[in-house]
Amino acid sequence: MTIIPDLHPRYKSLMTRDKLVAGVEAGITSQQGLIAHGRGEAFDYLIGEQTLKSARRATEVAAAMLLAAKKPVLSVNGNVAALVAKEMVELSELLNAPLEVNIFYRTEKRAKRIKALLEKQGANKVLGDLRNAVIPGIEHSRAKVDRDGLYSADVVLAPLEDGDRCEALVNMGKKVITIDLNPLSRTSKQASVSIVDDIERALQNLILAVKEDKKAKNDLAALSESYDNNENLKAVIKEIVSRLKKEDLR
């Protein structure tokens, strides 16, 4: 692992890159995952590496939706495992929702390693070995999921998802919550709730929001019923544009 001086202006971003490189070396993250992260980073630069107001709103709605769900499932891929395994396990416990390993570039070895990592972080229910159901509308290898997990879930948290699968899950009638720094991605546009934020920031905020909702016993249904994802994505773009207009480019 590279030694990064903590005064380095890009300390946080370099540490995150290191976690992903370590994920590739440990056989958890795919090489393509590094490229996907690069795309995310570019958007984070435009966002100012902070949580936007619109992302906070989406996070609050996501927390309410997950808490009100009958059968929530949290999907984990190689980037998610490398960056926020601990937080995904904590969220799974808070919601009493299983984690399911679901990866784009699947090898059995990689899936097993991700499962082992989640279990090492304390997860007691990790699905993804048993792929006995098929999501309609996508090609076979990516469509296979656990009948008792993603297949029958009513609300799915699928961070860093790809557009096709997100659309296929929505077409099955599920509510899909995604975390994606790109407000223009197919995933962001297809999802029921798109949290346009960095996954590490988003997970911290989501965990806090779930804890607060549990304590406050808010009207969860009302929170998510008044939410329009398309309008919120427009608000994200407005926030980015207004930030860029203020930026001193000299």
Point out which residues bind ligand ATP (CB under 6 A). 36-37, 39-40, 43, 160, 162-163, 179-182, 185-187, 198-199
CA distance 27 to 217: 41
CA distance 60 to 77: 23
Q: Which is nearer to ligand ATP, 45 or 130 (CB)?
A: 45
Nearest approach, Cβ of 127 to ligand ATP (angstroms)? Answer: 21
Q: Which two tokens stand for residue 227?
A: 């939410």
Q: Which two tokens stand for residue 6?
A: 């903590």
CA distance 151 to 134: 7
Nearest approach, Cβ of 192 to ligand ATP (angstroms)? Answer: 14
Q: Which two tokens stand for residue 28?
A: 């958890």
Distance in Å from the first CA to the final CA of the chain: 35
Q: Which is nearer to ligand ATP, 146 or 162 (CB)?
A: 162
Nearest approach, Cβ of 139 to ligand ATP (angstroms)? Answer: 14
How far is residue 42 from each of residues 4, 48, 132, 236, measured CA to CA in Å?
A: 21, 10, 38, 15
Q: Which two tokens stand for residue 129?
A: 């070995």
How far is residue 14 from each of residues 17, 40, 41, 202, measured CA to CA in Å?
A: 5, 14, 11, 18
CA distance 183 to 196: 6
Q: Which is nearer to ligand ATP, 177 or 221 (CB)?
A: 177
Q: Which is nearer to ligand ATP, 100 or 167 (CB)?
A: 167
Nearest approach, Cβ of 167 to ligand ATP (angstroms)? Answer: 9
Q: Which is nearer to ligand ATP, 39 or 211 (CB)?
A: 39
DSSP bridge partners of 100: 75, 127
Nearest approach, Cβ of 198 to ligand ATP (angstroms)? Answer: 4
Nearest approach, Cβ of 190 to ligand ATP (angstroms)? Answer: 8
Shortest-Cβ-distance residue relative to ligand ATP: 40
Q: Which is nearer to ligand ATP, 69 or 181 (CB)?
A: 181
Helix (H) or strand (E) holding 74: strand 72-76
